[in-house]
Amino acid sequence: MSTSKVWSGRFSEPVDALVKRYTASVSFDQRLAEFDIQGSLGHANMLAAQNIIGKDDLAAIQRGMAEILQEIRSGKFEWLLDLEDVHLNIEKRLTDKVGDAGKRLHTARSRNDQVATDIRLWLRAAVDEVVVLIHKLQLSILDLAEQHADTVMPGFTHLQVAQPITFGHHLMAYFEMLKRDAGRMTDCRKRINMLPLGAAALAGSGYPVNREMVAKELGFDGVCENSLDAVSDRDFAIEFTAAAALVMTHLSRFSEELILWMSPRFGFIDIADRYCTGSSIMPQKKNPDVPELVRGKTGRVNGHLVALLTLMKGQPLAYNKDNQEDKEPLFDTVDTLMDTLTIYADMLRGITVNNDAMRRAVLEGYATATDLADYLVKKGLPFRDAHEAVALAVRHAEIKGCGLEDLSLAELQKFSALVTDDVHNVLTVEGSLASRKHIGGTAPEQVKKAIAKARKTLS
């Protein structure tokens, strides 16, 4: 089988061996193969419907492609570097199988609109899978949050104990982030799902093509409305990668928390052994490798986003070979994201919580100081004065080495005469939590409502 380049006619010497490898994409773009075939079949149908090729050509192309698909799926297809990319490899094989009909397939088409179509088909399918995986992770979060709707933990600002919250409430913050992430995915899908075919190399086609027909057959929502834009922009891939970087960033923050909470200094949680590893030198170690890697791989996905933006920024219209470099970052983003989401959903099911350690941290942190200030405000003291009085009470308790709730009524009254014998109700953690019962608040009853509402959005 001759593998000379389809474009070699105008060249006087063969391409340098290193240049061949440097310019080829088949080692990675073969991943688009099934979508390339799908796109070609859509194109061929239209060519036949418009009488640009004969019905017998279409039948031959369909037969050849069905065989090629089998060869690819069974791993028997031989990918050749000499044939540069996935498109030329498949087209050559088709021509070997069905002769001239195979050579007619590329009528009214260029690899420029072909590759843009393939990536969009591939990414559309990936987005649909990502959305399902995000939902599975959200479900895991809901299940854990439900078990811990009443579990007290310190809420932090500046990583200092701030106010009591419930662990369920804390987890639901991540549910919200992922809800927006899923929304971003479905939103960018709309812009992915537009058909470039028909744009040909850059200027459109002189044949009587029917782009709407191809769009419909391939499940696109419409056609790209400018041929130059259709073949050259990869903003849809950049947008997807930005959305992926945000998912990863959210999970990186979550991971940072899991890592801290698992440290004996916090001792809030334990992560199942199957998500941790030991140390080769320190026998006592159990390391949270998975969350650490999620945090690390976030850097990798953020890097892909910057790579794609940089790839695009200097390109004049229309297609340039630079765009061949879009695939590896995009593929790796999808792989990293899917693995991360899958692992995370299961890892959360392997988390055990040390309720006592969480409660102890709340009690040691003067977490109900704001509640005491609010109590004084309700009795008529301006908030700034209440803040000052409570700050002095905290300092007093700190010197004494006890909590605010351990101070007697008489001691508390030294800081404000407005304190009466109902004060200890607001100093308890449960009282503090229960008072924050509006939408978005941490009261256990409200957290349970939020979980129930969230569950409905997933079903």
Interface residues for ligand ARG in 97-136 (CB under 6 A)?
A: 111-112, 115
| DSSP string covering 267-336 | --EEE-GGG-B--SS-TT--B-HHHHHHHHHHHHHHHHHHHHHHHHHTPPSS--GGGGGGHHHHHHHHHH
The span from the CA of 289 to the CA of 278, in Å, is 9
DSSP state of 15: P
SS3 352: strand
Q: Which is nearer to ligand ARG, 85 or 371 (CB)?
A: 85
The span from the CA of 453 to the CA of 449, in Å, is 6
Site string for ligand ARG, 156-195 (x = CB under 6 A): ----------------------------------------
Q: Which is nearer to ligand ARG, 82 or 143 (CB)?
A: 82
Site string for ligand ARG, 80-99 (x = CB under 6 A): -----x--------------
Residue 323 near ligand ARG by CB under 6 A: yes
Question: How many residues belong to the site for ligand ARG (CB under 6 A)?
Answer: 9
Alpha carbon of residue 51 to chain centroid? 44
Q: Which is nearer to ligand ARG, 112 or 298 (CB)?
A: 112
Is 279 labeled as catalytic in the residue annotation?
Answer: yes
Residue 404 near ligand ARG by CB under 6 A: no
* Shortest spacing between CB 255 and ligand ARG, in angstroms: 34
Q: Which is nearer to ligand ARG, 67 or 328 (CB)?
A: 328
Integer angstrom CA distances of residue 67 from 60, 93, 94: 11, 10, 9
Is 158 labeled as catalytic in the residue annotation?
Answer: yes
Interface residues for ligand ARG in 16-35 (CB under 6 A)?
A: 25, 29
* Shortest spacing between CB 119 and ligand ARG, in angstroms: 8
Residue 324 near ligand ARG by CB under 6 A: yes
Residue 40 near ligand ARG by CB under 6 A: no
Q: Are 423 and 390 in contact (CB under 8 A)?
A: no
CB atoms within 10 A of CB 124: 18
Residue 381 near ligand ARG by CB under 6 A: no
H/E stretch holding 223 reads strand 222-223
CB atoms within 10 A of CB 408: 9
Q: Which residue among the candidates 158, 280, 408, 438 is catalytic per the annotation?
A: 158
Q: Name the phi and psi angles at 421, rounded to 5.
A: -75, 0
* Shortest spacing between CB 271 and ligand ARG, in angstroms: 41
Which segment (40-48, 245-253, 319-327, 430-438) binds ligand ARG by CB under 6 A?
Answer: 319-327
Angle at 306 (CA atoms; ends 304, 312), nearest 5 degrees = 105
Residue numbers at the binding site for ligand ARG (CB under 6 A): 25, 29, 85, 111-112, 115, 321, 323-324
Active site residues: 158, 279
